[in-house]
Amino acid sequence: MPQPKGATQPERPRALFLILALPLAACAPLPVATDSTQLALPPLQPAFSATGRLSARHGGDAFAASFRWRHGPDGDEIEFASPLGQTVAMLQGDGRSATLRAADGRVFTADSWEALTEQGLGWRLPVEGLASWIQGAPRPGAPFSGERGEGDRPAVLRQEGWTIIYLAYAKDEAAVERPSRMTLSYPEIELRLAVDGWR
């Protein structure tokens, strides 16, 4: 596994495991599953900016923060912040390498988002897939299965070992319905996202 720059051992930033007491709405019941081949998928935006809240559980560790995510053809930048607005971690990557800057000044680098976040956060954040899943669609070019919900929108997507459950949708600035609450699960990992704003 790649060693972090500026650190003598792959010690994870302890501040990243603090529970920051950000409330997320309770889970809604899962819509009844129907045919998995007829999903009304929204158009994928090649660039977007999203803000919201994320919580993660991995074993006995927990993490919660607000996030600001800027996604584009040239890469991604994700900032995690405490309730008071202090940056907890900054992630940047372009598909060839990724970097995490922790609040204590340490810098972690890796050749993939999964390796970077597992090294720096202690759990995998599937940024490449999440760029599509957060928009309510599967990642292009990879097999998936799904279940329909209201209006034939995806209620569940399964892709690359992850199960994504969509709990609520809201319209973005272009009046396109995008997920506003979702959970993602992978063996030993559970993520919850609440999206507050799209651009």
Output the pLDDT for position 171: 85
Which CATH homologous superfamily contains domain 14-198?
Lipoprotein localisation LolA/LolB/LppX (2.50.20.10)
What local confidence, expressed as pLDDT, does residue 37 receive? 59
pLDDT for 189: 92
Q: What is the pLDDT of residue 28?
A: 45
- What pLDDT score was predicted for residue 192? 96
Helix (H) or strand (E) holding 189: strand 189-198
Residue (of 120, 77, 122) closest to 102 by Cα position = 120
The full set of domain ranges for the chain reads 14-198
Q: How many CB atoms lie within 10 A of CB 45?
A: 20
pTM for the complete prediction?
Answer: 0.79
pLDDT of residue 82: 87
Give the tens place of pLDDT for each residue, 90-118. 999 987 899 999 888 889 999 988 888 88
Strand order in the sheet with 61-72: 107-110, 98-102, 87-93, 75-81, 61-72, 48-58, 189-198, 177-186, 162-171, 154-159, 145-148
Which residues pair with residue 179 across a beta bridge?
Answer: 169
Nearest CA to 83 among 50, 109, 123, 55?
55
Sign of the CA dihedral with 154 first, then 191, 130, and 126 last:
negative
- Tens place of pLDDT per residue across the chain (199 aa): 444 444 444 444 444 443 333 333 334 444 444 444 578 888 899 999 999 999 999 888 888 899 999 999 999 999 999 878 899 999 999 878 999 998 888 899 999 888 888 888 888 888 999 999 999 999 998 999 999 888 889 999 999 999 999 999 998 877 888 899 999 999 989 999 999 998 8
Give residue-wise pLDDT tens across range 118-145: 888 888 888 999 999 999 999 998 999 9
Taking the CA atoms of the chain, what radius of gyration do you get in angstroms?
A: 17
12 contact partners, CB below 8 Å, separation of at least 6:
119, 120, 121, 122
